[in-house]
Structure formats: C-alpha cells, structure tokens
C-alpha cells in the first residue's frame, strides 16, 4: 500500500511550505538570540511563497493524502483569505510589537502555525482533520491572545479564551464521536453519500447539533459569543485583527465545508436553527456595539454582527448564499484587518488611546489615514460602492430566495443600526476638534499593507464578479 | 465460573468499591488515590473486552498524567479546612442527587424491563480493531496525515507553553 504519493506532496505544497517556514523560523529563533527580525522575514517569505503556490493551485479541487484533505478549488480560495490575513497581520505586528516592547520571534511562528491550522480546517475531508485543524489554530491563538504577559487584560483574555475554547472542543469531540458512532466513518465524503438515511437518526442529529455549537463558538455567534469582546479587547491589536479575520474565516470555511458541502442542510431542522442563531447575532451584535466606548470592543461586537450576516447565507443554503458568504469572507477580512491596523497605529502603551474620543480631529493631522479609516468604516457599514455592500447584498438576496424574508429584514434593519456606530468614528475624525494623532511614525510596510486592504475593498466593491464567478464550482464534493 | 467471568466480577467489585470509597473519603488526597485504583480496575475491564489500546491509554493518560495533575493541584491548593468543603449543603447538591436518582431509575428500567433494547455486542469485531497492532497500522497508513498534523499541533502547544511560562522574556 502506497501511503503518500508524489502528487499529494505537490498539491499540498502551499501547506507544506508554510509549515516548514514556521519550523525554520523556530530554529532561527532558537539559534540567533534576540533577533526576532530573522523570524519575521522567514515567516514572511513562507507566507508569500505559500500565497504564490496557492494562486497556481486555484483549479479544480483534488483529494489528497488518502482523502484526508482537499487541495485546490475551495481550499485554495479559502487559503487566499487566511494567507492574506496572516501576511497583513505579520507586517502590521512588527512595528506594533516593537512599540509595545513585546517583539519576539515566536510570535510569527505561532501566526504561521495558526495559519496552517486554518488551511487544514478549510481543506478537511475528514472529521479528524477538522478537529486537528481547529485545535492547531486555537492553541496558537490562545497563546497569542496572552502574548503581552504583563498586561492583566491580556492574561484574562488568554485564560477566558482557553477555558471556553476547551469547552467548545469538548462539544466538537462529542459531536464527532456521535457522528462516527452512527455513520461508522469520519470521512465527510462517505458521510455525505449516506446523509439521507442518517438524517433520520436522532443520535446523528444530536452530533450535528454539537458540531453547530462548537463552530458557533469559533465564529462567535450569539449565544456563544460571550468570549469575543473580552478576548478581542485584551489581545494585542494585531492579533485581534488576525483572530477576527483569519480565524473567523477559517471557522466559517469549515462550517461551509461540513454543513453545506457534506450535510445537505436546506429543508432540515438544522437550517432553521442556523437562521435563529444568525438573527440573534445580528441583533445582539449591532445593538450592543452602540453602547461601546472602546474602539476595539466596538469592532468586536461589530464582528459578532457580521457573523450573523454571514450565517444567514449558510442558513439559506442556496447557491447565492454559498457564493455570497465566500465573497463576504474576503470583503470582511480586508476591511476589518485594515480597521484594526489603523487602531494599532493610534494605540499607545498600557491600553491608552483606544477610546472613540481619541479619534477626535484625526483628519487634521493624518488626512490620508483618516481617509483609509473612513473607507473601512463605510465598507463595514455596508454602504456602496465598497465591498461590504455586495457581501450583504448577496447573503440577504440568498435569504429572500430561500423564503426567509424575515431574516433579510432583520439583517437590513440591524445594518441601519450599525451605520450609527461606524459613522460616529468618521464624524469624530472629521467634524470634531481634538489632539489625536498616530502614536509613532508608521513604517512604510505597514502603510502599504493597509493601503492594499483599502484598494481591495474598493476594487471588490466595484467588480464583485471577479470573485463571485470563481466560487461557482466549489460546492460539489 | 470461567476465568473471564471471574476476572470481570473481581474488577467490577474493585471499581465499584473504589468509586464508593472515593466519594465518601474526607481527605482529598486519599480520595484521589482511590480514583487511581478505580482507573486501574476500569483499565482491566477494557482488557477483558479485547480493547488493549484503550486499556493502556486509560492507565497511561488517566491513572498516569491526569491523576498526577489532580494530586499536584490538591497539594498546591493546600486544603487545610476540609470541613468547609464537605459540610456546605447547597441547591447544587439537591439537583445532583435528583439527576443521579433519575439516571439510576433509567438504568434499572432498561436492565429489568427492556434488556432487548440494548445494542448488541460486537465482541468479535472489537477483538480485531481494539488491538494495538491494528491501531498502529491504521495510524501509519490511512491516518498518516492526521498523525503528522498532530505532531505540529503538539509542537505549537509546547512553544506556546514555554512562551507563557518562561520566567524572563529577555
């Protein structure tokens, strides 16, 4: 029996290159003391190489390693999201960590390993890989959340995230055990073939329910969202950027991979459960965000609301919803990472300059940065012609087509609410007097990263078909 | 009585007895030691069911690693006033007692009135798939990729633990 074929290695080159670069960075860190820059460049080169290899791999998806993972196609598309998120986070982190005096090489190693975990989550064709990918990503994120060890809020964030995350893992494993027990296999392709018979089995449905709980925790959907605001606030800002984009996209990618591509949810009871979670996330996220005074907390609640929008695409379960959510993930990744990037420039040591008022009169001193921030805020609010608008348009259209008009109405109403808190920041920047400025000179690499994100947000808002056409063939296994 | 049923009854008595002793002890260290005995007896029961691998894992992971953790925590917490722990009656206890009673009744009902509803034993199948050899073979052929991923996962966990626990960063 041939265990590994050469094609397996070639198709999964993006994953292997990325993991190797993480290992190399770790060795470099151990050998060259106090030179985190080596680790920075090693991981940067790894991520960029992996990105290029992924572009070459965008064709049809191929199952590799004994049908354990899918490479190319859907997996490659998702990898582009994770790798861009990792790339931007790494670039933004260097100056931020240097300023906060926590610049350590292990930081980049953990980001790279977490990204490898995300790539596994999106590629998984087997429940064991789903589990291992989620754990690889989460364990790195627990540590990254508490990376600023001397900060009390960071410790609280790491501990809270770890304990609740371990609980979610328990749900995931029980769910997998029940699904394995009823279907006799952990392979998603095999399960998908016998889904029609299995969906009548109550133990199997309980297993699916437990998977929904575990995934909802990872995407921070109401009522499993309690950790998100505290963790997003306590973690280093660039890690929050990485968590709220890459990690969320990865959790959504597995959600779609398991519940849309394998388990045919439309029409089953699971579909209405997802619709309810989506509605609750949109309402709770948007309404609570209004009351926030800390920009990081506001963005945390806004990310809960965006989870709700994206979940309505999954709940609808039709082609528009599936393509819509994949488009939304890209749009959301760039606008959110850009916003967090700018927050990380303004922030000062000991959590200062994180309040809304610290942005008053920002445009007078930093006109260019204020324009970038406004682009991200308008896009997050879903105002055309930015990418955020089309993301919402597709998922709400999907909900209407799936006879869930009530869900679309809740979505539009809560989006209106969200305009208030996004634009509040813009109004403060342009129409109020204040002394606000960036904390230190921002390096060119970080500026170009955020500018790139803004350009993509505008470009995808004008030509959404660039991506949407790409995603058409992704939903057949 | 065959050797097999003799072993079953012996291990069953040990595991039930040690479980009872564990919950009735006042000293947490002694309770933890009875829990170890219980784990060993359970491991023996798995062996009689031809689940070699699970038996060894039960002893290695539970009786070994997790119990060491338990004992360390108990010793670090330094529970001087044991009475305080044991003599607090709260609504939690009442709910726990109610739930345990309900579970006991369910089990009795199933065993006495509807034993035919119990799943049938797949003893022969267990004998082939429960061996260490079979699991090892699977792990290095079909599940080779997850096995390798697990190594990255463990490495990430070790790196993370060192970062968070190291005394001085620079």
Asked if the C-beta of B144 comes within 8 angstroms of chain A's C-beta atoms, the answer is yes
Asked if the C-beta of B164 comes within 8 angstroms of chain A's C-beta atoms, the answer is yes
Q: Which residues of B touch A4 (CB under 8 A)?
A: 144
Asked if the C-beta of B117 comes within 8 angstroms of chain A's C-beta atoms, the answer is no
C-alpha pair distances (Å), A90 with each of A42, A86, A109, A447, B163: 11, 6, 10, 13, 18
Of B142, B156, B169, which is closest to A66 when you measure between CB atoms?
Answer: B142
Q: pTM of the full predicted structure?
A: 0.91
Residue B165: other Cβ atoms inside 10 A: 8
CA dihedral A174, A177, A181, A183 (to 10 degrees): 110
Asked if the C-beta of A120 comes within 8 angstroms of chain B's C-beta atoms, the answer is yes
Interface of A with B in 152-211 (CB under 8 A): 158
In this predicted model, which residue has the larger pLDDT, A452 or A349? A452
Q: Report yes or no: A148 and A139 within 8 Å, Cβ to Cβ.
A: no
Residue located via tokens 């990310």 = A303
Asked if the C-beta of B151 comes within 8 angstroms of chain A's C-beta atoms, the answer is no
Residue A151: other Cβ atoms inside 10 A: 19
Determine the distance in angstroms separating the CA of B159 from the nearest CA of chain A, rounded to an integer.
8
Structure tokens at A214: 């575990």
Asked if the C-beta of A139 comes within 8 angstroms of chain B's C-beta atoms, the answer is yes
pLDDT tier at B67 (50, 70, 90 boundaries)?
confident
Q: Which residues of A touch B155 (CB under 8 A)?
A: 23, 26, 113
State whether B143 and A158 contact (CB < 8 Å). no
State whether A68 and B146 contact (CB < 8 Å). yes
State whether A136 and B159 contact (CB < 8 Å). no
In this predicted model, which residue has the larger pLDDT, A118 or B126? A118
Q: What local confidence, expressed as pLDDT, does residue B69 receive?
A: 85
Mean pLDDT across the stretch B20-44? 89
Of B145, B153, B163, which is closest to A68 when you measure between CB atoms?
Answer: B145
Structure tokens at A333: 């990744």
How far is residue A214's CA from residue B35's CA, in Å, rounded to a whole number? 30
Q: Which residues of B touch A133 (CB under 8 A)?
A: 149
Mean pLDDT across the stretch B2-30? 89
Q: What are the DSSP calls for A135-203, one per residue?
A: HHHHHHHHHHHT-STT-HHHHHHHHHHHHHHHHHHHHHHHHHHHHHHHHS--BHHHHHHTHHHHTT-HH
Element (H, E) at A371: helix A367-381
Q: Which residues of B touch A114 (CB under 8 A)?
A: 156
Longest dimension (CA), chain B: 68
User: Does the pLDDT value for residue B117 go beyond 70?
Assistant: no
Q: Report yes or no: A72 and A11 within 8 Å, Cβ to Cβ.
A: yes
3-state secondary structure of A348: strand
State whether A143 and B164 contact (CB < 8 Å). yes
Q: What is the pLDDT of residues A34-69, one digit of tens each?
A: 788 999 999 999 999 999 999 988 888 888 988 899
Q: CA-nearest residue of chain B to A2?
A: B141
Q: Which residues of A touch B159 (CB under 8 A)?
A: 26, 106, 109-110, 113, 143
Determine the distance in angstroms separating the CA of A133 from the nearest CA of chain B, rounded to an integer.
8
State whether A126 and B164 contact (CB < 8 Å). no
Structure tokens at A407: 């869900």
Asked if the C-beta of B132 comes within 8 angstroms of chain A's C-beta atoms, the answer is no
Of B141, B149, B157, which is closest to A139 when you measure between CB atoms?
Answer: B157
User: Does the pLDDT value for residue B84 go beyond 60?
Assistant: no
Mean pLDDT across the stretch A300-306? 95
Asked if the C-beta of B169 comes within 8 angstroms of chain A's C-beta atoms, the answer is yes
State whether B160 and A116 contact (CB < 8 Å). no
Determine the distance in angstroms separating the CA of B64 from the nearest CA of chain A, rounded to an integer.
21
Determine the distance in angstroms separating the CA of B165 from the nearest CA of chain A, rounded to an integer.
9
State whether B164 and A158 contact (CB < 8 Å). yes
Q: What is the pLDDT of residues B126-139, one digit of tens each?
A: 677 778 888 888 88
- Indicate the burial class of B21 (C-beta count within 10 angstroms; 0-12, 13-18, 19 or more): middle
How far is residue A134's CA from residue A137's CA, in Å, rounded to a whole number? 5
Q: CA-nearest residue of chain A to B150?
A: A132
Q: What mean pLDDT value characterizes chain B?
A: 84
User: Does the pLDDT value for residue A411 go beyond 90?
Assistant: yes
Asked if the C-beta of B129 comes within 8 angstroms of chain A's C-beta atoms, the answer is no
With CA atoms as reference, report the closest residue to A377 among A331, A336, A416.
Answer: A336
Asked if the C-beta of B165 comes within 8 angstroms of chain A's C-beta atoms, the answer is no
Encode A402-428: b = buried (16+ Cβ within 10 Å), e = exposed.
bebeebbebbeebbebbbebbeebbeb
Q: Which residues of B touch A98 (CB under 8 A)?
A: none
Domain assignments of chain B as residue spans, ordered by start? 3-130, 131-170
Q: Which residues of A touch B163 (CB under 8 A)?
A: 104, 106, 110, 143, 147
Q: What are the DSSP calls for A53-114, one per residue?
A: HHHHT-SS-EEETTTTEEESTHHHHHHHHHHHHHHHHHHHHHHHHHHHT---HHHHHHHHHH
Q: Report yes or no: B157 and A137 within 8 Å, Cβ to Cβ.
A: no
Determine the distance in angstroms separating the CA of B1 from the nearest CA of chain A, rounded to an integer.
33
With CA atoms as reference, report the closest residue to A209 among A276, A129, A143, A155.
Answer: A276
State whether A120 and B142 contact (CB < 8 Å). no
Mean pLDDT across the stretch A322-345? 93
CA dihedral B132, B133, B136, B141 (to 10 degrees): -150
Least confident residue range of A352-356, A470-474, B13-17: A470-474
Of A1, A102, A113, which is closest to B152 when you measure between CB atoms?
Answer: A113
User: Does the pLDDT value for residue A155 go beyond 80?
Assistant: yes
User: Does the pLDDT value for residue B28 go beyond 70?
Assistant: yes
Asked if the C-beta of A29 comes within 8 angstroms of chain B's C-beta atoms, the answer is no
Asked if the C-beta of A68 comes within 8 angstroms of chain B's C-beta atoms, the answer is yes
State whether B153 and A4 contact (CB < 8 Å). no
Q: What local confidence, expressed as pLDDT, does residue B123 receive?
A: 62
Q: What local confidence, expressed as pLDDT, does residue B126 receive?
A: 67
State whether B163 and A1 contact (CB < 8 Å). no
How far is residue B155's CA from residue A92's CA, in Å, rounded to a whole number? 25
Q: Which residues of A touch B170 (CB under 8 A)?
A: 34
Mean pLDDT across the stretch A201-223? 91
The percentage of residues in chain A with a pLDDT greater than 90, rounded to a whole number, is: 65
Asked if the C-beta of A246 comes within 8 angstroms of chain B's C-beta atoms, the answer is no
- Per CATH, the number for B3-130 is 1.20.120.1200
Q: Which residues of B touch A66 (CB under 8 A)?
A: 141-145
With CA atoms as reference, report the closest residue to A251 among A219, A207, A212, A209.
Answer: A219
Q: What local confidence, expressed as pLDDT, does residue A477 receive?
A: 47
With CA atoms as reference, report the closest residue to A302 among A382, A386, A385, A406.
Answer: A382
Element (H, E) at B137: helix B132-140
In this predicted model, which residue has the larger pLDDT, A352 or A37? A37
Q: What is the pLDDT of residues A243-302, one digit of tens each?
A: 999 999 999 999 988 888 777 766 677 888 899 999 999 999 999 999 999 999 999 999
């Amino acid at each position: 029996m041939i265990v590994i074929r050469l094609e397996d290695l070639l198709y999964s080159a993006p994953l292997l290159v990325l993991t190797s670069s993480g290992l190399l960075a770790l060795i470099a860190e151990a050998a060259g003391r106090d030179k985190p820059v080596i680790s920075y460049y090693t991981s940067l080169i790894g991520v960029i190489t992996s990105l290029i290899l992924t572009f070459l791999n965008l064709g049809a998806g191929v199952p590799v390693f004994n049908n354990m993972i899918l490479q190319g196609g859907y997996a490659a598309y998702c990898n582009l999201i994770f790798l861009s998120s990792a790339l931007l986070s790494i670039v933004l982190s260097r100056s931020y960590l240097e300023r906060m005096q926590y610049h350590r090489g292990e930081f980049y190693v953990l980001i790279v390993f977490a990204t490898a975990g995300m790539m596994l989550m999106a590629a998984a064709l087997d429940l064991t890989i789903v589990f291992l990918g989620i754990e690889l990503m989460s364990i790195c994120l627990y540590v990254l959340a508490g990376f600023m060890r001397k900060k009390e809020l960071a410790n609280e964030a790491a501990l809270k995230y770890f304990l609740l995350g371990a609980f979610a893992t328990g749900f995931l494993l029980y769910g997998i055990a029940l699904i394995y027990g009823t279907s006799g296999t952990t392979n998603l392709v095999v399960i998908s073939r016998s889904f029609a018979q299995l969906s009548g089995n109550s133990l199997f449905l309980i297993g699916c329910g437990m998977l929904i709980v575990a995934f909802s925790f990872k995407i921070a959907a109401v009522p499993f969202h309690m950790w998100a605001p505290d963790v997003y606030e306590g973690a280093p800002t660039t890690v929050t950027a990485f968590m709220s984009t890459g990690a969320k996209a990865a959790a959504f990618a597995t959600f779609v991979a398991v519940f849309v591509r394998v388990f045919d949810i439309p029409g089953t009871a699971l579909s209405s459960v997802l619709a309810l979670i989506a509605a609750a996330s949109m309402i709770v996220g948007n309404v609570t965000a209004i009351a926030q005074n800390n920009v990081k907390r506001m963005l945390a609640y806004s990310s809960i609301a965006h989870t709700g929008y994206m979940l309505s695409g999954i709940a609808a379960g039709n082609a528009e919803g599936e393509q819509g959510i994949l488009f939304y993930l890209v749009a959301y990744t760039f606008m959110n990472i850009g916003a967090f990037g700018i927050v990380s420039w303004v922030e000062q040591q000991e959590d200062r300059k994180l309040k809304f008022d610290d942005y008053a009169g920002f445009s007078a001193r930093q006109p260019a940065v204020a324009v970038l921030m406004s682009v991200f805020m308008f896009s997050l609010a879903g105002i055309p012609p930015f990418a955020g608008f089309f993301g919402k348009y597709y998922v709400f259209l999907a909900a209407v087509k799936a006879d869930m008009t009530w869900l679309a109405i809740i979505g539009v109403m809560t989006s209106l609410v969200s305009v208030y808190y996004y634009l509040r920041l813009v109004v403060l920047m342009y129409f109020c007097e204040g002394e606000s400025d960036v904390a230190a000179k921002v390096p060119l690499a970080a500026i170009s990263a955020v500018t790139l994100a803004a350009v993509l947000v505008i470009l995808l808002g004008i030509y959404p078909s660039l991506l949407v056409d790409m995603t058409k063939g992704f939903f057949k296994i | 009585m065959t050797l097999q049923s003799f072993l079953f009854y012996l291990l069953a008595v040990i595991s039930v007895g040690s479980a009872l002793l564990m919950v009735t002890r006042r000293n947490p260290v002694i309770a933890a030691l009875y829990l170890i005995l219980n784990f060993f007896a359970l491991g023996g029961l798995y062996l009689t069911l031809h689940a070699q691998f699970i038996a060894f894992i039960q002893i290695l992971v539970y009786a070994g690693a997790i119990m060491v953790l338990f004992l360390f925590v108990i010793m670090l917490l330094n529970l001087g006033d044991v009475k305080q722990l044991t003599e607090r009656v709260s609504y939690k206890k009442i709910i726990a007692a109610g739930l345990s009673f309900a579970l006991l009744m369910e089990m009795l009902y199933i065993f006495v009135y509807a034993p035919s509803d119990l799943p049938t034993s797949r003893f022969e199948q267990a004998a082939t798939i429960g061996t260490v050899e079979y699991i090892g073979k699977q792990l290095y052929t079909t599940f080779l990729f997850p096995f390798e991923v697990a190594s990255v996962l463990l490495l990430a966990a070790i790196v993370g633990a060192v970062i968070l626990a190291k005394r001085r960063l620079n």
